[in-house]
A and B are shown apart, each in its own frame.
Chain A
Amino acid sequence: MSTHTVAKPSDASEKFAFSAANQSEVQKHLGKYPAGRQASAVMPLLTLAQAQIGGWLTVAAMNEVASILDMPPARVYEVASFYTMYRHAPVGKHVVEICTTTPCMLRGSDKIVAACERHLGIKLGENTSNGLFTLHEVECLGACVNAPMMQIGSDTYEDLTAETAIAVLDLLAAGKAPSPGPQSGRHSSEPMK
């Protein structure tokens, strides 16, 4: 069965409004486009809404974006369902996105995925029951020189092994901030010792 969700009519009856801070962001984005072309701002507005909700988009939020931009709601749903970085179901506090595109795959990303799945007790696309983690597979994030890698929030963790990946997750679970970047002792992408 194909996977993307279809919303129930009740989902659309929820309420969503941009926060005061985000309101001014919305205006900033709208100002970038000439009158009548405000629909161009649909992606930044969806991103704002997703951040405000906590990592995913509700139907109400998409409807609000549609009404701000004077677009038919269906056109906004199309955009939001096309791009995988817009999510349509609740996510955990940390969204762990493991790259499995060719370079990372060649460098062992499958092992990273398996280790994370085993450690967190969930499969790709699922949330942990404590609401801390969501596991996702993503396409190339452009850090191939330090493959394999994963992205959590706005930080990337590179040169991973199963052990270092789990160590990062453990630090996050303990409420600490793991240091982003290569986990192998490399500074950036200089040759390995």
Chain B
Amino acid sequence: MPKLTIDGIAVEVPNGATVMQACELAGKEIPRFCYHERLSIAGNCRMCLVEQEKSPKPIASCAMPATEGMVIHTDTPMVKKARHGVMEFLLINHPLDCPICDQGGECDLQDQAMAYGYDRSRYLENKRAVADKNLGPIIKTYMNRCIHCTRCVRFADEVAGVPELGAFGRGEHMEVGTYVEAALTSELSGNLVDLCPVGALTAKPYAFIARPWELKKTASIDVMDAVGSHIRIDARGEEVMRVLPRRQDDINEEWISDKTRHAVDGLMRRRLDRPWLRDAQGVMQRSDWETVLAFLATKLKTTAPKRIAALTGDLVDGEQIFALKTLMSQLGVTNLDGRGDEYGLGGDAGLAAAAGWRFNSGFAGIDQADALLLIGTNPRIEAAVVNARIRRRYLKGKFPIGLIGERPPATHDLTYHYEHLGIDAVVLDALLAASDGFAAKLAAAQKPMIIIGSQVFAHGGAIRRRKLMQLVEKFNLVREGWNGYNILHRAAARVGALELGFVPATGGLHGREIIKAAQAGDLDMVWLAGVEEFDRGQLGKALVIYQGHHGDRGAEAADVILPGAAYTEKDAIYVNSEGRPQAALRAVFPPGDAREDWKIIRALAGKMGMDLGFDDRDRLREMMAAYNPIFAAMGCLPPANWGDYVAAVKSEAARAVAEAQNPAPAFHHAMADFYQTCAISRASPTLQNCSRLFVRGEKIDDKMEAEAVYG
């Protein structure tokens, strides 16, 4: 713990800290461009020069280790002059195009030139010109503006794990790019735009769209995957202009995936902004709330509860789930399921104990783990920012990684070396029997971890849970102070539905049975809350109610459409894979007649003369917290009782034996197309372009990119 003096202030810093960190600890702001605390240290911009006593020259504080007894000055004439000089050098070749630059107003170079720069230029020579690079549909480049800090190169290399960027040439001829012209193939590439301290890398879909000072910023939660990334929604008027990451070290650090960032241009397209009702001729007609609610109230009252079912989809919020559940259980409906395509997660144990569906270690637990087994999951596309965390742990070394499941294709292969153990559940048996190879590595680990894709349980849930429980026992995955049993979900609504018990009530049908029953004509009403998986043909003659915000597959199958609010348009709670409930905040209002979803359900109950027990959101949230206490501790990682889950798995032994008779299918990829997974992302032109380029390998020309930019 070295002690230093910074401008006369004594500070003590941890071993391995840099002079810059010591200065920050002393409350001194040090300007910088190349240094970023989550990237390796480059020390090439020289902006962070400070004066060290007994050193003849100023030192680059970002790269200088803090040592005992250093005396540092950050406010001497020498430091001021050094900053002036560096700034002047940086601006030799930087164009004066701030008025037309998308970074204007949030530009590190602009800000630091104001704060630390010289107020005039002494250069009359021509500035150098550099050809712009085409890095694909996400990133727009203006390479004239590049100051060669190499943050983008280091990010691609270290965090994203796609070492495609480089600094080519040298001296005045150095250029950042890909050398061979190609789009950057990373799910995290949008973060380069945030990292770039100047306007060299800007967001293509956001080009010339808005200025930062005219945007209303709302701190919220992302729903494009089950990570629950913290985001900032920037809106102007009634339109969401962009999404940026917020820092949350336990979840997304300060990254977000490209889908999280660029799905928002889907929010202004294909929206349901008024209720619709199918008339007697079978034609969908525009309607109004009064009519559809009256129609539904009558239908719900006159239909036998046994012949009603409700499913919730990937993007629904906690309030909606709980309101719908309350309505349905008061009506006596038992056919409920909120588990999406992981319906097989059902059965007793899958519903009984939270430890069986949560990411028990927490995402931050990955940093401590010392061996990892992935089962039926590809975190790179299912949870891109979690994958970045796994990669960081991998780069630290001594972290064997194994994969059971289909090998990911080269376009989105895992960004670390792994042992491919096999593709099906048979490998689990082999692992249970083995004492060498990967089994030995897992056994030797102090904090072993397995991450199981939620779709693993879609087939043979009970037998697989049993096998995994044996794995837990053999490798001691759950021990004092450590729970290495983790389920990674893909949909933001999934864990919320499980925590709120939106699962078949006693005697009720589960998801697959509901679809089968609807097809067979055994159901009269099916309520699809944001469910997009089924088309009309799969739902038979049942009256289909679609509650959601986009005109996607669900709305196409519907007889009644209740227009709801998207995640940017409501105050709502989402629970991420870890079981962490987080509150999203409303950034804009829903379009037209669309309403917040719990209000729609509340209004319908009112129409039916029912009392659901809540009239406002606060009361609804109180009821949710009363049902499950995790909702009383927003943002916290809740503890899960492992013993409950062990008991639950034991209790379904008979079912496991029965399931063992059927051959288990391999662990296939759950997600074929990272960019097109929900109604919002399918409506987004940017993500459609990404899908065409990166997934389907089609060529997108500049005209198409222009369409994505200007709509």
Contact = CB atoms under 8 A, between A and B. Distances in A.
A4 B129 CA distance: 12
Interface string A7-22: 1110110000000000
Contacts of A9: 180-182
B169 A74 contact: no
Interface stretch (A24-32, A77-85, A183-191): A77-85
Given A4-B169, A6-B179, A74 B129 contact: no
A59 interface: yes
Contacts of B169: 2-4, 81-82
B181 A74 contact: no
B100 interface: no
Interface string B164-191: 1111111011010111111000000000
B182 to A, nearest CB: 6
Contacts of A78: 166-168
A3 B173 contact: yes
A15 to B, nearest CB: 15
A1 B163 contact: no
A192 B76 CA distance: 57
A49 to B, nearest CB: 16
Given A4-B168, A7-B180, A11-B180, A74 B130 contact: no
Nearest to A71: B163
Given A72-B163, A75-B163, A81 B130 contact: no
Q: Which of A7, A8, A74, A77 has the most CB of B within 10 A?
A: A74
B179 A74 contact: yes
A59 B173 contact: no
Nearest to B129: A1
B211 interface: no
B69 to A, nearest CB: 36
Interface string A153-188: 000000000000000000000000000000000000
A61 to B, nearest CB: 13
Interface residues of B, number: 23
A8 B175 contact: no
B617 interface: no
Given A1-B129, A1-B130, A1-B131, A6 B177 contact: yes
Interface string A66-110: 000000111101100110000000000000000000000000000
Nearest to B171: A82
A82 B173 CA distance: 9
B128 A59 contact: no
A101 B167 CA distance: 26
Contact of B180 (A2, A4, A12): A12
A73 B157 CA distance: 12
A51 B182 CA distance: 28
A77 B166 contact: yes
Contacts of B204: none
Contacts of B163: 72, 74-75
Interface string B130-150: 110100000000000000000
Contacts of A11: 180
B147 to A, nearest CB: 14
Given A8-B180, A9-B182, A59-B180, A74 B164 contact: yes
A74 B131 contact: no
B166 A74 contact: yes
B189 to A, nearest CB: 15
Contacts of B175: 2, 4, 6
Nearest to B170: A82
Nearest to B166: A74
Contact of A2 (B129, B164, B165, B179): B129
B128 A2 contact: yes
Contact of B173 (A4, A7, A73): A4
A180 B130 CA distance: 41
Contacts of B173: 2-4
A11 to B, nearest CB: 7
Contacts of A12: 180
A176 to B, nearest CB: 37
B165 A74 contact: yes
A3 B179 CA distance: 13
Contact of B181 (A2, A8, A73, A77): A8
A10 B372 CA distance: 39
Interface string B639-682: 00000000000000000000000000000000000000000000
Interface string B322-336: 000000000000000
A69 to B, nearest CB: 13
Q: Which of A3, A4, A11, A12 has the most CB of B within 10 A?
A: A4
A74 B172 CA distance: 19
Q: Which of A2, A7, A12, A73 has the most CB of B within 10 A?
A: A2
Q: Which of A3, A7, A77 has the most CB of B within 10 A?
A: A77
Given A2-B128, A3-B173, A4-B175, A75 B166 contact: yes
A78 B178 CA distance: 10
B151 to A, nearest CB: 15
Contacts of A74: 163-166, 178-179
Contacts of A6: 131, 133, 175, 177, 179-181
Nearest to A59: B180
A123 to B, nearest CB: 18
A11 B169 CA distance: 18
Interface string B446-468: 00000000000000000000000
Interface in A121-168: none
Contacts of B179: 6-7, 59, 73-74, 77, 81
B240 to A, nearest CB: 35
B168 A77 contact: yes
B163 to A, nearest CB: 4
A185 B168 CA distance: 44
Contacts of B172: 2
Contacts of A8: 180-181
Contacts of B168: 4, 77-78, 81-82
A109 to B, nearest CB: 21
A55 B583 CA distance: 63
A6 B169 CA distance: 10
Q: Which of B130, B157, B173 has the most CB of A within 10 A?
A: B173
A73 B163 CA distance: 8
Contacts of A73: 179-180
Contacts of A1: 129-131
A77 B168 CA distance: 7
Contacts of B129: 1-2
Nearest to B179: A77
A32 B166 CA distance: 27
B126 to A, nearest CB: 11
Nearest to B130: A2
A139 to B, nearest CB: 12
A29 B166 CA distance: 25
B192 to A, nearest CB: 15
A94 B99 CA distance: 50
Contacts of B180: 6-9, 11-12, 59, 73, 77
B602 to A, nearest CB: 56
Top 5 closest pairs, chain A to chain B, by CB: A72-B163, A74-B166, A77-B179, A81-B168, A4-B169
8 contacts: A1-B129, A4-B175, A6-B177, A12-B180, A72-B157, A74-B178, A75-B166, A78-B166
Given A6-B175, A6-B177, A81-B179, 15 more contacts: A2-B131, A2-B169, A2-B175, A3-B173, A4-B168, A4-B169, A6-B180, A7-B179, A59-B179, A73-B179, A77-B168, A81-B169, A81-B170, A82-B168, A82-B170
Interface of B: 128-131, 133, 157, 163-170, 172-173, 175, 177-182
